[in-house]
Structure 1
Amino acid sequence: MAVDLRQVLSAFLTLSLFGMLSNMVKHDYFDSSEEAFEAVSSVQIGVIRVEDQRTGDLRDGPWKEIGHELKPCWTKPAPFVEEPKGYVTFSLTTGPGHHELQIANAVTVARFLGATLVLPEIRGNELGESRRFGDVYDEGRFLEAMEGVVRVAAELPAEAAAQPPPVVRIPDGASEAYISAHVAPLFRRTRLVRIAVLFEKSLPIKGVDAVACLTIHAAVALSAELRRAAAGVVDELRSPGRSVEGRFVAVDLRVNQDCSGDELDKKRGCLTPSQAAALLTRAGFGRSTSLYLTQAKWQQGLESLKEIFPRTYTKEDLIDSEEIKRRIFVEGGEELGRALDSYVCTQSDVFLPAAGDVIFGGAVAGKRIAAGRTQVLPYAHVARRCHC
């Protein structure tokens, strides 16, 4: 069942942009791999239960219209006018959901310390593999959004880069009190720190964090080249040859992840292709439904899903930019592919997070809620409150 979360939002202000979902998971998304499909008539979202309100003909899916965009609950922080006292460096790792949180935490730390933030490199899965920030994200937009919030440098000056910076590990959502106690003393001595964000030790977010909201919603966006490629994938999925009435479901599903069905997998919402197919079928989606899978290339393990939903595609089928294809599939640019996936999943009519990646799933769900695209199957935990 696709759930219109605006009913929840109207009573609960908003559940906004993602944050650390694993910190908020207090129940199983799926009681068991079989019971989930028997229980799709209701979905547990936090402490609120949203009952099945499907109406009409469900042969082609319980589609709902896009709602109104939510208004930001935050305003731009007061300008930072002091001269910077040193530098904060960091790296981006794992994927776009993590990236946005890593950037938000780094901006918060640098602003509190009165430091210059150095643009991060994006680390790949292989040792020594890295990309420039501008290879994936819009560097100009980031610099413009950060004006007055924190000073940003493209790289460390030579004198500061002469020796490795001390590394400070902080939990996601670190407060000013935490930064003051655990980061500031070292920074005052060295004038240079490198931070690493620990997501397994996330701290609860209270109220509206204006700096984090500004960073996530206004500062971090795909590079123009990657955005064009992602928008092209969405346009192709909505074309008459690919879909019915221009609608599609995005499924975060990767067959290289082993969904064993144990307790951890159930909490993460990790589904096999056949389980995902069963859930979509029970939710009312028919054979004519078009699916976009975040799996990079087609693999044999996806056949059970395509037997039920013949219009199932991966990015390999849909990207028209040969340059982007080369960077993703030849050069091993997994982070580029995941960034493209994030855009497509945010723009889809319905989203099913089935890969057990709660950071990615929550990032997408939060952006969808803010944009009025509230059809998410079957969980949507988001931690940071940014919209009302």
Structure 2
Amino acid sequence: MCLPGTFGDIYDIEKFVSSLDGVVKVVKSQPSELSTKDLAVLRIPNRVTEEYIANNIEPVFKTKGNVRLATYFPSVNMKRTRTPENEERNSVGCFAMFGSLELQPEVREVVASIVERLKTSSRKSDSEFVAVDLWLEMLDQKGCQGFDKNSAVYLTQSRWDNSLDSLKDLFPKTYRKELIMPMDKKQKFLGSDSSEYEKVIDFYVCSESDVFVLAISGLFYAYVPGKRIGSGKTKIVVRVDSASAGSEPGNYISRYVSKKTHMAYSCFC
């Protein structure tokens, strides 16, 4: 496996390589004897079966000698599976999720500073720190508002928009990255070429919050709960239509938690 160019800017490469010793061979850059022109590029859906690998990947690898795999996600599925084949595959996924990635110190410090500021703001009013994966187009749709007005609310939405004013009226302590990130880090982590940094910061801040609220399903919803479940932070709230949810609070809890369907649960059995 060859690491992408930006990987080392975000994660500790030495930690990653050493943790995978004996599992898979990792190289930091593409070997000089390989030419990108000769590589066969295969688009592979996430979490494929051994049969799929045998039928679609191995024949090309045997013919070409080298392949580049581009993973795509036809659906977001992080549910636990019980077959022997899937249990073995899940064990690799568990290792990748909890045992191989460690942020570079500078990125870790930025995340820690944001999390600490939000937790401090919430503690002052004996409230919770709530992280919301928010898309602006979701604001005109009604959803759950069951939090103390003094809760510190972190939005993954990077830049402020006038449509967010109504949310700030409800929760005055509403923040986004550009307001609470250390000044000397903004140019690097919020610049025009910093989208990968922003995604990583959102992921780790949402993983550390007291409560995580999801506005819409997607890959973020697949991976943040896994990280949270691993650290025991299982307050994960999904946005649902209030009329269909009824009055039961449990209707707002992610099924990943209420039904323990996320594959992360299989990592701690």
| TM-score (norm. length: structure 2) | 0.81
Judged with a 3 Å threshold, the aligned counterparts in structure 2 of structure 1 residues 273 and 347 are, in CA distance, closer, same or farther, namely farther
What is the match of residue 163 of structure 1? 37
Judged with a 3 Å threshold, the aligned counterparts in structure 2 of structure 1 residues 243 and 189 are, in CA distance, closer, same or farther, namely farther
Judged with a 3 Å threshold, the aligned counterparts in structure 2 of structure 1 residues 339 and 357 are, in CA distance, closer, same or farther, namely farther
State whether structure 2 residue 166 is matched by structure 1 residue 299: no
Query: Which 5+ residue runs of structure 1 have no aligned equivalent?
Result: 1-116, 122-131, 259-270
CA offsets 1:137-159 (integer angstroms, 9 cap, x no match): 22122111111111111112222
Judged with a 3 Å threshold, the aligned counterparts in structure 2 of structure 1 residues 362 and 241 are, in CA distance, closer, same or farther, namely closer
What is the match of residue 178 of structure 1? 52
What is the match of residue 249 of structure 2? none
Which structure has more helix as a fraction of its residues? 2
The separation in 2 between residues aligned to 1:333 and 1:273, in whole angstroms, is 29
State whether structure 2 residue 102 is matched by structure 1 residue 221: yes
Query: Which 5+ residue runs of structure 2 have no aligned equivalent?
Result: 239-253
The separation in 2 between residues aligned to 1:338 and 1:358, in whole angstroms, is 13
Match of 2:3 among 113, 119, 124: 119
Q: CA RMSD for the aligned pairs? A: 2.3
State whether structure 2 residue 242 is matched by structure 1 residue 358: no
Judged with a 3 Å threshold, the aligned counterparts in structure 2 of structure 1 residues 166 and 201 are, in CA distance, closer, same or farther, namely farther
What is the match of residue 184 of structure 2? 322
Match of 1:245 among 126, 141, 165: 126
The separation in 2 between residues aligned to 1:313 and 1:273, in whole angstroms, is 19
CA contact (8 A) 1:250 1:348 kept: yes
CA offsets 1:298-318 (integer angstroms, 9 cap, x no match): 221110101111111111111
Percent of matched pairs sharing the same residue? 33
CA contact (8 A) 1:253 1:353 kept: yes
CA contact (8 A) 1:351 1:376 kept: yes
CA contact (8 A) 2:213 2:237 kept: yes
CA contact (8 A) 1:365 1:380 kept: no
Number of residue pairs aligned between Structure 1 and Structure 2: 241
Of residues 233-242 and 139-148 in structure 1, the stretch that sits farther from structure 2 once superposed is 233-242
* AA partner of residue 353 (structure 1): L
CA offsets 1:51-91 (integer angstroms, 9 cap, x no match): xxxxxxxxxxxxxxxxxxxxxxxxxxxxxxxxxxxxxxxxx
CA contact (8 A) 2:76 2:219 kept: no
CA contact (8 A) 2:122 2:129 kept: no
What is the match of residue 201 of structure 2? 340
CA offsets 1:189-215 (integer angstroms, 9 cap, x no match): 221101111211678853352222111
Judged with a 3 Å threshold, the aligned counterparts in structure 2 of structure 1 residues 162 and 317 are, in CA distance, closer, same or farther, namely closer
The separation in 1 between residues aligned to 2:75 and 2:108, in whole angstroms, is 32
Which of structures 1 and 2 has the larger relative contact order (alpha carbons within 8 angstroms, sep 6+)?
Answer: 1
Judged with a 3 Å threshold, the aligned counterparts in structure 2 of structure 1 residues 297 and 243 are, in CA distance, closer, same or farther, namely farther
SS of alignment partner, residue 222 of structure 2: helix
Judged with a 3 Å threshold, the aligned counterparts in structure 2 of structure 1 residues 241 and 219 are, in CA distance, closer, same or farther, namely closer
SS of alignment partner, residue 249 of structure 1: strand
Of residues 209-218 and 236-245 in structure 1, the stretch that sits farther from structure 2 once superposed is 236-245
CA contact (8 A) 1:242 1:290 kept: no
| TM-score (norm. length: structure 1) | 0.58
What is the match of residue 211 of structure 1? 92
The separation in 2 between residues aligned to 1:351 and 1:202, in whole angstroms, is 18
1:246 Cα deviation after fit: 6.7
